Chains A and B, each alone.
Chain A
Amino acid sequence: RKEVEQDPGPFNVPEGATVAFNCTYSNSASQSFFWYRQDCRKEPKLLMSVYSSGNEDGRFTAQLNRASQYISLLIRDSKLSDSATYLCVVTSWENDYKLSFGAGTTVTVRA
């Protein structure tokens, strides 16, 4: 089983729509969670961290469910510029510091 799994999509949505997707992780000792954005095979860039209480950054809302071991990302009022692949990243400190990446969820926003 992969450590971090994501629905690859693609999620095709019209401008202005809301889109949401999840990421599941297998290591219950995972400590920190992030969403990164990657445009067309360019370098990933941090979109937002995910806090236990959930957090918002403008049109983006991230949630963490430790009991079910998943995080989610919701994008409201989608813009064309939101078209990208969203990578889920999970970190853990056990024997050492480890980052695990999901394979990404592709979102395409159409006019």
Chain B
Amino acid sequence: EAQVTQNPRYLITVTGKKLTVTCSQNMNHEYMSWYRQDPGLGLRQIYYSMNVEVTDKGDVPEGYKVSRKEKRNFPLILESPSPNQTSLYFCASSPPPTGTDEQFFGPGTRLTVL
């Protein structure tokens, strides 16, 4: 089954404790991205990757890191989480973007930082 998986699905942590949210896709997609969704703000792009070893900042990259060592995986790293990073996070993938391609989203990770 073609899918994007994220782990964990739910996480409660404390300020300053490093965490990683994994994202994996099995569709051989080049383009992957991370979004956070907050009430009233919609989805905002954190980082994206056009291909292996190529990553770029989105609209809200502060406090986050990513890596793309393999095509299928695109982990999101919070080195020192803070309460303002409490949010719903989605990973997405698609073929090389042409403007007509569907974004496939993972099921989301609900993160709470105390």
A residues in contact with B107, CB < 8 Å: 42-43
Q: How far is the CA of A8 from the CA of B40 in the complex (A)?
A: 8
A residues in contact with B106, CB < 8 Å: 43
Residue from A93, A97, A99 having most chain B Cβ neighbours under 10 A: A99
Residue from A41, A97, A98, A104 having most chain B Cβ neighbours under 10 A: A97
A100 to chain B, nearest CB (A): 8
The majority secondary structure among interface residues of chain B is strand
Residue from B41, B42, B43, B108 having most chain A Cβ neighbours under 10 A: B42
Interface pick from B66-74, B77-85, B97-105: B97-105
Q: Is B111 an interface residue (CB 8 A)?
A: no
A residues in contact with B99, CB < 8 Å: 31-32, 91, 93, 97
Q: Is A73 an interface residue (CB 8 A)?
A: no
A residues in contact with B100, CB < 8 Å: 32, 49
Q: Is A59 an interface residue (CB 8 A)?
A: no
Q: How far is the CA of A3 from the CA of B50 in the complex (A)?
A: 22
Tally of chain A residues near chain B (CB < 8 A) = 24
A residues in contact with B110, CB < 8 Å: 41
B residues in contact with A87, CB < 8 Å: 42-43
A46 adjacent to B102 (CB under 8 Å)? yes
Q: How far is the CA of A89 from the CA of B42 in the complex (A)?
A: 10
A103 adjacent to B108 (CB under 8 Å)? no
A101 adjacent to B102 (CB under 8 Å)? no
- Interface on B for A, CB 8 Å cutoff? 31, 33, 35, 37, 40-45, 50, 56, 88, 90, 97, 99-100, 102-103, 105-108, 110
Q: List 17 A-B contacts (CB under 8 A).
A: A32-B100, A41-B88, A44-B90, A44-B103, A45-B105, A46-B102, A87-B42, A87-B43, A91-B97, A91-B99, A93-B99, A97-B50, A97-B97, A99-B45, A101-B35, A103-B40, A103-B41
